[in-house]
Chains A and B, each alone.
Chain A
Amino acid sequence: GAVVSQHPSWVICKSGTSVKIECRSLDFQATTMFWYRQFPKQSLMLMATSNEGSKATYEQGVEKDKFLINHASLTLSTLTVTSAHPEDSSFYICSARSAPGQGKDSPLHFGNGTRLTVT
């Protein structure tokens, strides 16, 4: 089945530093990937839609300059949390569609998430 790999699975960084999270579709090409953020015991909140070869589309309230998204190839999207602060600590999950045409009825495949802790 379609596999989405996310790396790293967890990271601890100091306040003020930047952290990059990678999301790869291992056995399919994904023109679009999605980045979600999940606070403890809460739902997934869509942060942005990553588009291969073009700028990401951010959801309202998400800071573009803080959460940099790059989708340089059909199998890789990266999320960089710049100048991280403790309030950025969260669980970040990426996802992508695998079906041909990647239409609205095809399911999203999720990575295993990245636990970010900013100290």
Chain B
Amino acid sequence: AQSVTQLGSHVSVSEGALVLLRCNYSSSVPPYLFWYVQYPNQGLQLLLKYTSAATLVKGINGFEAEFKKSETSFHLTKPSAHMSDAAEYFCAVSSNYGGATNKLIFGTGTLLAVQP
């Protein structure tokens, strides 16, 4: 079975400060990892994904994440927070089946607040 754990259900930063959202995964096989963002009453938008290529992955809106196998982590960072980054962020891992029916398992989410 695969799972992800997001440490910190709420994170608050000041505008312009570093954003760090933590995600640790558990997987018996090499995982595929994703970060999604959700704005209120909307679906999820993909920020970035790790699929066993480069360990440092760059995504949209200035976000990036680094896959660290030794730490089983895939933390999301952004050098300088913007007010528009306020949203809920979900880390997710793919199950280890192949093909179109492969399921995505989500963490519990981290609500990011950005203070002016």
Determine the chain B residues whose CB is within 8 A of the CB of A75 once the complex forms: none
**Total interface residues in chain B, CB < 8 Å:** 30
**Total interface residues in chain A, CB < 8 Å:** 33
Question: Interface code A93-104, partner B: CB below 8 Å = 1, 0 otherwise?
Answer: 101010001111
- Provided the pairs A43-B109, A110-B44, A112-B42 are in contact, do residues A51 and B51 lie with their beta carbons within 8 angstroms? no
Question: Interface code B29-60, partner A: CB below 8 Å = 1, 0 otherwise?
Answer: 00010101000011111100101100000000
- Provided the pairs A104-B94, A113-B42 are in contact, do residues A43 and B100 lie with their beta carbons within 8 angstroms? no
Determine the chain A residues whose CB is within 8 A of the CB of B45 once the complex forms: 110
Contact, CB under 8 Å: B99 / A103: yes
Determine the chain B residues whose CB is within 8 A of the CB of A44 once the complex forms: 44, 90, 106
Contact, CB under 8 Å: A93 / B108: no
CB distance from A26 to the nearest CB of B (A): 13
20 A-B residue pairs with Cβ-Cβ distance under 8 Å, sorted by A, are: A9-B41, A31-B100, A42-B108, A43-B90, A43-B106, A45-B106, A46-B103, A93-B44, A95-B43, A102-B99, A103-B100, A103-B102, A104-B96, A104-B97, A104-B98, A105-B49, A105-B94, A110-B36, A110-B43, A115-B41
Using a CB–CB cutoff of 8 Å, the interface residues on chain A facing chain B are 4, 6, 9, 30-32, 34, 41-46, 49, 51, 57, 91, 93, 95, 97, 101-105, 107-113, 115
| Nearest 8 CB-CB pairings of A with B | A110-B43, A102-B100, A104-B102, A105-B51, A32-B100, A110-B44, A43-B108, A112-B43
